[in-house]
Every structure is written in structure tokens, then in C-alpha cells.
Structure 1
């Protein structure tokens, strides 16, 4: 609690969870950078992200099980939900990695964050939820901002870029499916620690991605030490640290604070894109990016 001097008391975000959430947003904002850096196919890099992360999560699960007395293996029902989440996440990574290579780090990350509106659509059509004015205004702003960034130069973009935009929007839909299934698994996990669910999800996703790599004709082994370093960093920073930090901080923050923190991911992705890969936005592009971020924020905070 804090007093701003006017006699009105406000709720302040807990400093520890807030700092953790900000750190988590910074960590996951680097995800697309590693995909651009490696010299293997997009599905192969997705496979290594999940396979390496599964191995890295083992000690975290050991500590969590010993500390809380939970189980290594969740119940069959929870494991089925995790498997469904993994199926969606494998599709998510398959499309998102291609979007990163086709349209760039910033745009691919921004498009993926449209999952907010895919989740809201599920809530409205399946659960009968009402989004309120926040949702609809946010959707219009986000779409309007995206149009400002894409429409003026659309005819000048090649077919690869057009496909990348489609993959980015497909990512948003697949990621929403993943979140729905994984949140349900988290809500019904019983004594199984959250680290256990992350381990199983990572392992199953890797198993689903492996045949996709082979069928797609991509080379699986990384090409040298630089690729191995980037993939290990990708798995540890984005999948392990990012998910563990954010997962622990989210329940202790309000929707508004959470929304602002999560907006760091697409915003910082554009920063990394500009600093590392030379991407530039014109004046109209910056306005479009700002409108899209405001719209996503309204979508994130549509419910208290």
C-alpha cells in the first residue's frame, strides 16, 4: 500500500515479483534473436530448444520434488493436458521460427502476441465470457497499428514475407491453444510441481518436433560450436529461466502490471532487431507499433 499525498491509498505491485516479471520479459524477448543466429533449419532449432531445455529442467524438478514432496509424473489426466499443450506448442514453434526468418525478429514477436485476441475469442465463443470495451478497442487498435506497419509496403514485399505474416498470425492461434491446455494442466496438477509440468511439456514437444525435422529434410546436428552455444543459450534463457521466473511471478501481480511487463517482450524484440540485424521503422511504422502495443495491453487487461 502507498499514499500519494492526496489522502488516497493505492495498491503497489510487490517489488520482488515485479522485478522478477520484468526480468522474465527481458529473457523471453531474446528468443527470436537466437533463432536468427543459428545456421540450422527453423524446425531443427525448435527441436533443440525443447530437447536441451528438458535436460536442463531435470535438476529443477529434483529440487522441487524433494522440497515439496510432489511427484515426478503427473496424473494421467494432467499428463494428457500437457500432451495437448505440447502438440499446440510444437505447431507454435514450427510456425514462429519460420515467421522470424521471413519477417524479422520484431514483427514475428509482435504477431505472436496477438494470441491475446485468440484467447479472448475462445473465452467468448466457448466459455461465454464478455470481453468488455477493453477487448474490442484493443483489437481495433492492434489491427489498425498492424495495418499501418504492413499495408503501405505490402505490394513491395515478396511472397516469403507474406507467408511470414501468415505464419506469425498462425503462431498466435497455436500459442493460445497451448496456453489454454497448459493452464488447465497447471490448475489441476495436484501435488506435481510446476517444474514437472514444464519438463514433461518440453520433452513431449521435442518428441513431436523430431519427426517434423526429419520429414522436412532439415539437417538436425548444429553446425559447430557457435550454433551449439546459441542453442544452449536459447534453451536456458528463454525456455528454462524465462518460464520459471515468469511462472512464479505472474500470480502475485495485477492484470495491469502484468500487461505492462509482458509488453516488454515485443518492444524489446524490436530493439534487438534494430541493434543486431539493422531493421528500421519509419514514422508510420513507429505509430503502428505503438498502436499495436496499446491494443495488446488493453487485451491483456480486459479482465481484473
Structure 2
């Protein structure tokens, strides 16, 4: 791989991570409920991706076989649960912390590999896990006594997001590995469509109003679907195999790091010295978790 090509792939990966880092911002901006906003994210993304799939060369590469479709259904179930919890975590604990908690999915995947597949985690994984947990403790410890029940539930939802997203990745990667002629864009379209179909009744049963309120809501939801779900995922999906795991891990850390930047700039969230040290420690731990499979060339993955 040439250095010029590497720089191009690196720039594209950084762009993709920056795009998906905006996800939680749009959730905070819309005036409808958390499940309803998740439905619109996936539903609008499905419509936007359909236009891509209707191009002539893509029409023959959109229909998966029964086994791959079954894996997509399982992936959609996990992803619907992921978005249901993550959107609530965003509203309860804030953009930055909710995104950081979602990135703990690297340890959920490691647990699956260890307990189900019999993989050995190695020193990077266990060191990274301890660092990430210690960093999280430092982030939460200074104000823990003053946090209300809603905030603490938001922490639980954030960690639940990591578990659900790990389940999604396992199923979706299995489907991608067996997709044969099916285009990756088509896999993403099916995921969006199936997840939206699950989130619609979840929103209605939860008593949430589906109708966005005015231009502000529609603009935020359309940007959420287009920037975070379509552009972000397509860019990352295309460039991810072209970068070594260590570089990829550093690029993906832009997502939780930038989410704290957006949180500070747009919502006034401020971290003290202890919290900043905790954030850095957690990010370093997540990085070690992301590159744990470097010798196996296991791809790291962005979060929701």
C-alpha cells in the first residue's frame, strides 16, 4: 500500500469517525421521543439508501438468501435494542458520556470471543478493560453522590447499549461474511429497513408521538439519517479494510472524543481535571481493546 493511498484512507476514516460523532447531537436537538427519533433515523436512511440501490448496476445485488436474511433480522433486533437504550442514555447523561459508554462494546465483543469462541484476550484486552473502567470511575466519582436516579439509569442504559451493539456486530458481521453477491450497501439498507420496522411499534407502544414538530425536527432527523447513518457508515465500511488495526483504532477514538467536543460547544458540558484524566484513561483503554486482535487482523468497528 502506497503512502499516498494510506493518507487518503486515513483521511477518509477520520472523516467517517467525525460524521458518526454527530449522532448524539441530533438526538438531543429533536423534540420527539427517543424511540421515535431512532425510528426516523433508520426509516429515512432506508429511503435514502433505496435511491442508491435503484441504480442500474446495484439492482442485481440487493437480495440476500434466507440464511443471510435471518442474520440481518437478528442484527436488527440487537440494533433496535441498542438505539432504544442509547437514545435514552444521551438524554439522561449527555452526548459525550453516552457515546463513551457505547464504545465499551469492544469489551462486550471480547467477552463473546472469550466465553463463546474460546479466544484468548491477551494483555492488551485486560489492561485496556481495567484502564477503561478506572477512567469511567474517575469520570463519575466526583459527582456521584449528587447524581439523580435518572442519571444513574442513563449510565445503565449506556452500558446496555454496549452489550446490544456487540450483539448487533456479531450478527451483522456474520451476515456480511456470507453475503456472496449482495452489495454492502444493500446489507445496510436491509438493516435500516428491518430496524425501522421494529422501532415503529416500540415507539407507538411506548406512547411516543411520531410526528416531528416543524422544520427544526425534520432538519435534525434528516441530517441524522444522512450524515450519521448513511454517509458515516458507508465511508467507514469502505475504508476500514485498508488500514492497519492500530491506525484504525486511533481513528475510531475520534468518535467519543469529538462527542465530548460537541457536548462542550453545543450544550455547555464541562469536565474538571479529574474527569479529563478519566476520559483520557478510558479512551486509552478502549484503544487497547480495539487493537487486541491486531495479530488476527480483526477489524475494529465504530459504535452507533
2:107 paired residue among 105, 114, 117: 117
Distance 1:273 1:69 in 2: 41
Q: Deviations over 1:25-47 (max 9, x none)?
A: 00000000000000000000000
Deviation at 1:188, TM superposition (A): 0.4
Partner of 1:265: 255
Distance 1:111 1:23 in 2: 21
1:297 is aligned to 2:287: yes
Q: What is the TM-score with the length of structure 1 in the denominator?
A: 0.94
Contiguous gaps of at least 5 residues in structure 1: 3-10
1:26 is aligned to 2:14: no
The secondary structure found in structure 2 opposite 1:237 is helix
Distance 2:5 2:112 in 1: 29
1:47 is aligned to 2:31: no
Distance 1:12 1:294 in 2: 28
Distance 2:59 2:39 in 1: 31
Q: Deviations over 1:108-156 (max 9, x none)?
A: 0000000000000000011111110000000000000000011231111
Distance 2:180 2:259 in 1: 36
Partner of 2:181: 191
Assess if the C-alpha contact under 8 Å between 2:249 and 2:291 holds in 1.
Answer: yes
1:142 paired residue among 126, 132, 147: 132
Partner of 2:268: 278
Assess if the C-alpha contact under 8 Å between 2:92 and 2:150 holds in 1.
Answer: yes
Partner of 1:235: 225
Partner of 1:59: 51
Partner of 1:8: none
Partner of 1:38: 30
Deviation at 1:69, TM superposition (A): 6.9
Please report the RMSD computed on the Cα atoms of aligned residues, expressed in angstroms.
Answer: 1.3
Distance 1:282 1:60 in 2: 45
Assess if the C-alpha contact under 8 Å between 2:53 and 2:59 holds in 1.
Answer: no
- Number of residue pairs matched? 294
The secondary structure found in structure 2 opposite 1:15 is helix
Distance 2:102 2:286 in 1: 11
Greater radius of gyration (CA): 1
Q: Deviations over 1:220-256 (max 9, x none)?
A: 0000111000000000000000000000000111100
Deviation at 1:13, TM superposition (A): 7.2
Partner of 1:88: 78
Assess if the C-alpha contact under 8 Å between 1:13 and 1:257 holds in 2.
Answer: no
Contiguous gaps of at least 5 residues in structure 2: 295-304
Q: What is the TM-score with the length of structure 2 in the denominator?
A: 0.94
Assess if the C-alpha contact under 8 Å between 1:96 and 1:108 holds in 2.
Answer: yes
Deviation at 1:68, TM superposition (A): 6.2
Distance 2:58 2:24 in 1: 34
Distance 2:195 2:60 in 1: 23
Deviation at 1:72, TM superposition (A): 2.0
